[in-house]
């Protein structure tokens, strides 16, 4: 089976998000099922690194995608095209390819998240916390918000047209079905929609025997972007915990970079928040292995790869209940904690409970490791192969 993945950026295993997931899925399909995978992308890597697909990749743009990609598809005997969040590509390729090739739209985000991009609240958040570039974008949005509101309404149409033109729609969670249907204003057929969660990022798991060696450290792995990730809320929670001197033997490590890093560093300095270390961009695996508790305060996520990454290395996650697929990852009180959105007091309470009891931590660490195995690449790869092998499709 020959499969073409279409992504926004070049697929590199070292990248995050959609590109990393594409790398994992393609590798599993080739290794375990003998498929041959190809890649088409719009943006190449700035470091000019060799992509995962080497001689089986092609760069396109919105002007040449139909002709150039159609030729590439037929020349390489492609049977399935998987559009990784590329709605417009799914629509235009159906027009040019007809029914000769199967098309899948895989949506890797919370359905309807695009609508929130163009809102006064989001614009003011960027104006307050964003870098100079983000501030300019925010001012432009505030001044011309009616225009951007109209532009945002097009996403609903894109959802609907893409759904109508693809053979299969893949969502990350059962909880996203109603959200997609409502936003796109379309009825979803159970025969056409499949739920496939994201696979784990790593093949290894923490050894239960090593959990006692973990440090009294709390971890954040994130893009430092206030609008979505709300790291200032994490710092506020940490500041509250540090008011009690009994927890001063714990520290908070923040791994990642982004447009708001300086603002976060300024907040920590201004309020003299103790025991906070900014690590910058790092390979996060060693931090997951060594640290005990993982914090997420995002406003929304599609899946939250860092949660399952933390779990597979026994780093207990705590997250606000802001998106539907979170319930698929965290079983509250068993392998992590789910907290009502913006309930800082409850978040602090759960953090302290874990920090107070090593026995509780060890038990939940073990549960987290075992539960995360549901998402290993063998299981997720099988779901993808079964989907592409099935002939029962609603057109």
HSE (side-chain half, CA atoms, 13 Å) at 254: 24
The pLDDT value recorded for residue 14 is 61
The pLDDT value recorded for residue 44 is 66
**Residue spans per domain, the chain:** 2-114+153-199+377-389, 208-375
Instruction: Tell me if domain 2-114+153-199+377-389 and domain 208-375 are identical in fold.
Output: yes
Give the Cα separation of 367 and 316 in Å (integer): 9
Instruction: Say if residue 340 is exposed, middle or buried (CB neighbours under 10 Å; 0-12, 13-18, 19+).
Output: exposed
In the chain, the N- to C-terminal Cα span, in Å, equals 21
Residue with tokens 């990784």: 84
Q: How many other CB atoms are there within 10 angstroms of residue 45's CB atom?
A: 16
The pLDDT value recorded for residue 46 is 55
Give the Cα separation of 62 and 88 in Å (integer): 9
Per residue in 290-304, pLDDT (tens digit) is 999 999 999 989 999
Q: Token digits for 312?
A: 């597979």
Give the Cα separation of 126 and 119 in Å (integer): 11
Tell me the angle at which helices 377-389 and 17-33 cross, rounded to the nearest 10 degrees. Answer: 70
Task: For residue 17, give the H/E element and its range.
Answer: helix 17-33
The pLDDT value recorded for residue 1 is 95
The pLDDT value recorded for residue 395 is 42
Is 0.75 surpassed by the pTM of this model?
yes
The CATH code that applies to domain 2-114+153-199+377-389 is 3.40.50.2000
Regions of the chain short of the pLDDT cut 50: 392-395
Q: Token digits for 223?
A: 């893009």
The CATH code that applies to domain 208-375 is 3.40.50.2000
The pLDDT value recorded for residue 50 is 57
Is 285 within 8 Å of 313 (Cβ atoms)? yes
């Amino acid at each position: 089976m020959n499969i073409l993945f279409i992504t926004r950026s070049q697929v590199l295993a070292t990248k995050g998000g959609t590109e990393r997931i594409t790398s994992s899925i393609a590798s599993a399909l080739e290794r375990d099922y003998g498929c041959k995978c190809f890649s088409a992308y719009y943006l190449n890597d700035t470091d000019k690194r060799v992509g995962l697909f080497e001689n089986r990749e092609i760069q396109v743009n919105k002007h040449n995608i139909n002709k150039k990609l159609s030729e590439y598809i037929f020349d390489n005997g492609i049977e399935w095209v998987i559009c990784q969040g590329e709605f417009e590509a799914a629509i235009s390729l159906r027009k040019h390819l007809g029914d000769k090739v199967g098309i899948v739209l895989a949506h890797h985000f919370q359905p309807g998240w695009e609508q929130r991009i163009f809102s006064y609240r989001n614009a003011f958040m960027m104006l307050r916390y964003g870098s100079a570039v983000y501030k300019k974008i925010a001012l432009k949005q505030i001044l011309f918000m009616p225009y951007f509101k109209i532009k945002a309404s097009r996403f609903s149409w894109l959802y609907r047209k893409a759904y109508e033109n693809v053979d299969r729609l893949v969502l990350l969670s059962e909880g996203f079905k109603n959200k997609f249907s409502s936003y796109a204003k379309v009825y979803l057929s159970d025969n056409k929609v499949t739920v496939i969660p994201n696979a784990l990022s790593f093949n290894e798991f923490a050894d239960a025997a090593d959990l006692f060696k973990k440090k009294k450290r709390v971890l954040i792995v994130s893009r430092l972007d206030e609008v979505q990730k709300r790291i200032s809320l994490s710092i506020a929670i940490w500041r509250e915990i540090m008011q009690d001197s009994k927890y001063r033997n714990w520290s908070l490590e923040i791994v990642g970079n982004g447009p708001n890093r300086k603002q976060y560093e300024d907040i920590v300095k201004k309020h003299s928040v103790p025991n906070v270390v900014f690590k910058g961009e790092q390979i996060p695996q060693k931090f997951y292995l060594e640290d005990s508790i993982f914090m997420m305060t995002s406003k929304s996520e599609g899946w939250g790869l860092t949660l399952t990454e933390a779990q597979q290395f026994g780093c207990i996650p705590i997250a606000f209940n802001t998106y539907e697929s979170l319930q698929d990852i965290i079983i509250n009180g068993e392998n992590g904690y789910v907290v009502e959105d913006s309930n800082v007091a409850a978040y602090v309470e759960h953090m302290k409970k874990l920090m107070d009891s090593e026995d509780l931590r060890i038990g939940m660490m073990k549960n987290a490791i075992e539960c995360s195995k549901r998402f290993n690449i063998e299981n997720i790869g099988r779901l993808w192969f079964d989907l592409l092998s099935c002939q029962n499709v609603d057109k």
